[in-house]
Chains A and B, each alone.
Chain A
Amino acid sequence: MKNYTLSNEPTSATCPACGLLCDDLILNATGSESVKNGCAKSITFFEQSFQTDISASASLFGKPCDLNTAISAAADILRKSKQPLFAGLGTEVQGMRALMRLAEKSNATLDHMHSESTVRNTLTMQNSGWLTTTLAEIKNRADVILAIGTDIVSSHPRFFEKLVWNTDSLFNKPTPEIIYLSVPAENTQAGIAPNGTPPTVIPADTASIPEIVNALNALLHHKKIKAETVGGVAVSTLQAVADKLKSAQYAVVVWSAASLKFSHAELTVQSIVQLINTLNENSRAAGFPLNSGDGDTSINNTSTWLSGYPTRSRLVNSKPEYDTYHFSTKKQSKLCDALLWVSTFNPHSPPDIKTPTIVIGHPNTQLEHQPDVFIPVGIPGVDHAGLMFRVDSSITLPLKKLRDNHLPSLSDVISKIEASL
């Protein structure tokens, strides 16, 4: 039996595996099958984390070396680099604070591994703003939930369990009505209420989401639509959705920018925002953008208060610059002269870039091409404490250290690299 925790007593934990950041987990010393309040994602996360090789050694081109040698090799690479790219950025607040200091010293460009999705939301917010809500408001107020292009549970498994099918709510609201738009029917099981009431499922191609949302907007503005169907959906069906949203006490529209995989998806997010704004002229409704994980919300917030900008950003002579187009990993992979890849929650591999590469991350990171430097570090919320922003950005929760080992934290390693620059 694997010893999971510092003591043999059950230990409460906060799970960083998704944006819900559930802090009601209880880990038993006996193994993952007894993670209380766990979900598919959290069990996988903790199992994977506890199976890591805690004796993993740093390496240079695949050859084991001690930590200090690896740190000075990493510092060498950054010292010689004129425009390094810090990518991945799978970390929490404290790790990001350290990375920002190092970025300032080394004129780095910063981009998170999931920012392709995040940027779709950020651009919308910067263009028109939005009206959003948080988990406890959904739990206590939502009576209609419209999920657009996302089944929610694939990325945020306990959403329905914790926030929708809860029996206790502050205002005695009815059991919420669930509407899935453009979600495969086989993925809508979570939307079946405990009493068996099925959700409304409106099938449509992802590519049709823009026109369907625009049609909903038109209907909310009492415009007549001459066509009988829009994006393959009957206009009468959309009218019924519009009516439900309008008559809701508190309608919540959920989307996941990650699932809107078509060009200029920010315009669709903007249409969703308009829909919510229109509803709020007479009744109450709010948006709920899902995130993608690996600390995306945490690093964006930290970057913003430290430099004034979310990622994709760059520090030039400690002056921050911001450009969501040019500072993407994809663009920068052709321009950068060094790569620092960070992924501490999951063993994500770096992109294959032909520059000197430093990988600092999960001890189980599988590396196809041996990087110049690999430094395994502890997993936040398992090997060391940390701080994490929830999907709704309003809540920051502490992550706990759950076990003892010699793996350094990302911020320790980064601070040492910074010191030896």
Chain B
Amino acid sequence: MITLLKNGKIYDPAHKKDGVIEDIYIYQGRVIPKPLEPSKISQTFDLSGKVVMAGAIDMHSHIGGGKMNIARMMLPELQQKQAQETKHLTEPEAHICTPHCSHNTTHHSIPSATDTGFRYIEMGYTAAFEPAISPVNARQAHLEMGDTPMIDKGGYAMLGNDDYFLRMLAAKKDQKAINDYVAWILHATQAIGIKVVNPGGINAFKFNQRRLNLDENNSHYQVSPREILQSLSRAVHELGIAKPLHVHCNNLGAAGNFETTLNTMGASDGLPMHLTHIQFHSYGTEGDKKFSSAAAQISEALNKNKHITADVGQILFGQTVTASGDAMMQHLNAKHANPKKSVIMDIECDAGCGVMPFKYRDQNYVNALQWAIGLEIFLSAEDPWRIFLTTDHPNGAPFTSYPHLIRLLMDKAFRNETFAKLNLDAQAMSNLASLEREYSLYDIAIMTRAGASKLIGLNDRGHLGVGASADITVYTDQADREAMFSKPDYVFKNGELVVRDGVVTKVVWGATHTAKPAFDIGVEKGLKDYFDKYQTMQLDNFKMSNDEISHDGRGSIVVHDKASL
């Protein structure tokens, strides 16, 4: 009945535990205090010398929804390559890949829903969040996540390019009306956060604008990205949901975009915002090639602006696919696709998407510098609670390369050795080799567990305190951090042992995390009129019910309330 994890070295930053030797007791899926009656302990794992952390949480990973399915459909050749190198066994071990998969980026850039769950849990990740659900496509995103086993999931709904919101903003509707709409969207899409991608830009592209700067107006609505960010960050803040507005800045990937990023930090008037895959937004225009690292300026601003959090969106070398809601910038960059193809979509007066394969090459100046910029940001960010480990899966690299990335952060010699092999011009333009920092296990536990849980507002995940959901990962402490984080000894999901020695031993189904702040149902009056006049589906069918996620007996919904933190 009670499971005892004995003598593990506990890394639990939420409780300031940095490698202390302690026991953990699990009962009915939760961490409990030491029981009064030891006789009730039915199972003991001796974890002497092992590293124990909460299950890891990926706060930004494209795991479900239309654009990932487009990527799969468009790129059968990548999957065929992946399949050829995938060992085949009977279930549930049927989904075990080669020992090399974690650091070979040709793999798993577009895993099936099933593979996504297996690959995550095998690395000790117990939750992942889809950061770009277009509200009209929410049902598909949840269907795909519903077919993703092993892990918990959730998503951020995209707003800020939808005509309904832009009309409200242009009409100068009051903040309460905006807040009601934002809350209504969270309910209707079963999301836990709100994201804005290239604020106003995806919409502007539909009016044939090709770039949009922070203070430039969308030509039709005459509103600027700054106004969109102000309005949405305030709505999220006033609604009291934990997850700050998730911001994919304007000008992704463009040389010189760091200024947009710096200015964006000031756009919310001090209200919390999360700048996502900030590496892609940290480019200067110095040097012969007019492309340089602005990691120093970005990190300095990040360190100074306490209301800002960021994830990195590290790139790693190899073949992957970029899948983004940013139709405007993906269309602009489609000429760089490799292989040369792209799918761009305008979606339903709601959003857009752009999907294209991409190959990051270590001898290419820009790619090599992108790699260095990501690491420069990681190593210069002073507060590990405000920076998060991501590759913007699959855009910078597949999530399966996280163990490799962790080694780059924790092992300076390994990092410098890799750096020394890159394009020489890029090396000359980066100060990476001078950065001495090595992340500690405690820092990694903050970035991938405690910090991520706090950011999203998951309350009972990402830590090991009494009452926590017993999502727990146990590693063997190895000098090779990549080997260590590739293959945990044990992973427990809700207290059940589901992975042993990096191999799935039991298939389970995780919950879907949501936020459902209160709102005035009167908001539906305007929406109903809008849907009837301009949309092509009924308002009632736009909304997803709880039952759609839980009816099959596998899925379940957890509603998070900031007040209960």
Contacts and interface: CB of A to CB of B under 8 A. Distances in A.
Interface of A: 12, 14, 23-24, 93, 97, 122, 125-137, 139-141, 162-163, 168-171, 249-250, 280, 283-284, 286, 300-301, 304-310, 317-322, 387, 389, 392-398
Contact of B343 (A125, A284, A318, A320): A125
Contact of B79 (A23, A97, A128, A308): A308
B341 A305 contact: no
A125 B74 contact: yes
A130 B343 contact: yes
Given A306-B113, A310-B73, A128 B341 contact: yes
B88 A136 contact: no
B350 A136 contact: yes
Given A137-B349, A319-B83, A394-B347, A14 B541 contact: yes
Contacts of B80: 322
CB-based closest 3 A-B pairs: A129-B341, A135-B536, A396-B139
A370 B139 CA distance: 40
A140 B349 contact: yes
A392 B163 CA distance: 19
A111 to B, nearest CB: 15
A387 B143 contact: yes
B349 A320 contact: no
Contact of B76 (A135, A301, A322, A387): A322
Interface residues on B, range: 35 or more
A387 B533 contact: no
Contact of A305 (B68, B91, B340): B68
Contact of B112 (A134, A139, A308): A308
20 contacts: A131-B344, A133-B345, A134-B347, A135-B536, A168-B534, A250-B206, A286-B345, A305-B69, A305-B72, A305-B113, A308-B83, A308-B115, A387-B139, A389-B140, A393-B66, A394-B66, A394-B136, A395-B536, A396-B139, A398-B139
A396 B331 contact: no
Which secondary structure characterizes the binding site on chain A?
Answer: mixed
A227 B167 CA distance: 50
B98 interface: no
B548 interface: yes
B275 interface: no
B86 interface: yes
Given A129-B334, A137-B347, 20 more contacts: A12-B538, A126-B74, A126-B341, A132-B346, A134-B346, A134-B536, A136-B350, A137-B348, A139-B536, A140-B534, A284-B206, A304-B73, A305-B64, A306-B147, A319-B86, A322-B76, A387-B139, A394-B66, A394-B136, A398-B541
Interface string B221-236: 0000000000000000
B75 interface: yes
Contact of B346 (A133, A308, A318, A393): A133
Given A12-B538, A306-B113, A394-B347, A320 B74 contact: no
Contacts of A163: 536
Contact of B69 (A97, A132, A162, A301): A301
Given A305-B72, A305-B147, A397-B541, A169 B534 contact: yes
A250 to B, nearest CB: 7
Contacts of A250: 206
Contacts of B144: 305
A305 B62 CA distance: 13
A394 B534 contact: no
Nearest to A135: B536
B565 interface: no
Interface string B108-146: 001111110000000000000000001011011001100
